[in-house]
Amino acid sequence: MTRPTARVLTLLELLQSGGIRTAAELADRLEIDERTVRRYVDHLIDLDVPVESVRGRYGGYRLAPGHRMPPLMLGDDEALAVLLGLIAGRRAGPPTATGTANETATAKIRRVLPKRLTRRLDAVLDSLAFTTAPDETAAPESAVLLPIADAVRHRRPVSIRYTAGDGRRSARTVHPYGLVVHSGRWYVTGVEPETGEDRTFRLDRVAEVRTLPGSFERPSGLDPAQRVLSGFAEAPYRHEVILRIQGTVEQIRARLPASVAIVEEPSEAGRADGETERWLRVRLRVERLDWLPPVLASLDRPFVIERPDELRDLVVALADRLVNSARQRPPDA
pLDDT of residue 301: 93
pLDDT of residue 298: 93
Mean of pLDDT values over 227-250: 83
Mean of pLDDT values over 292-312: 92
Which residues, at least 6 apart from 272, have a Cβ–Cβ distance to it below 8 Å? none
The answer to whether residues 6 and 13 touch, using CB atoms and an 8 Å cutoff, is no
Is residue 2 predicted with pLDDT exceeding 60?
no
Q: Could you give the 3-state DSSP secondary structure of residue 307?
A: strand
**Which residue would you say has higher pLDDT here, 270 or 289?**
289
Distance between CA atoms of 226 and 257, rounded to whole angstroms?
11
Cα angle for residues 269, 272, 276 (degrees, 5° grid): 110
Q: Could you give the 3-state DSSP secondary structure of residue 125?
A: helix
State pLDDT tens for residues 64-88. 876 655 555 666 667 667 777 676 6
Q: Helices 34-46 & 23-30, crossing angle to 10 degrees?
A: 90
Share of the chain above pLDDT 90, in %: 27
Task: Show the domains of the chain with their CATH numbers.
Answer: 3-63 (1.10.10.10), 76-221 (2.30.30.520), 234-326 (3.30.70)
State pLDDT tens for residues 86-100. 766 555 444 444 455
pLDDT of residue 271: 53
pLDDT of residue 270: 47
The answer to whether residues 282 and 244 touch, using CB atoms and an 8 Å cutoff, is yes
**Which residue would you say has higher pLDDT here, 135 or 11?**
11
Mean of pLDDT values over 47-62: 83
**Which residue would you say has higher pLDDT here, 324 or 120?**
324
- 5-8: list long-range contacts, CB under 8 Å, 24+ apart: 7/32, 7/40, 8/40, 8/43, 8/44
CA 307 to chain centre: 35
The answer to whether residues 174 and 121 touch, using CB atoms and an 8 Å cutoff, is no
**Which residue would you say has higher pLDDT here, 220 or 130?**
220
pLDDT of residue 296: 94
pLDDT of residue 211: 94
State the pLDDT confidence band at 210, using cuts at 50, 70 and 90.
very high
Helices (H), the chain: 3-16, 23-30, 34-46, 76-91, 97-112, 115-127, 142-154, 224-233, 249-253, 292-299, 309-327
Mean of the per-residue pLDDT values of the chain: 81
* Helix, strand and coil percent figures for the chain, each rounded to 5: 40, 25, 35
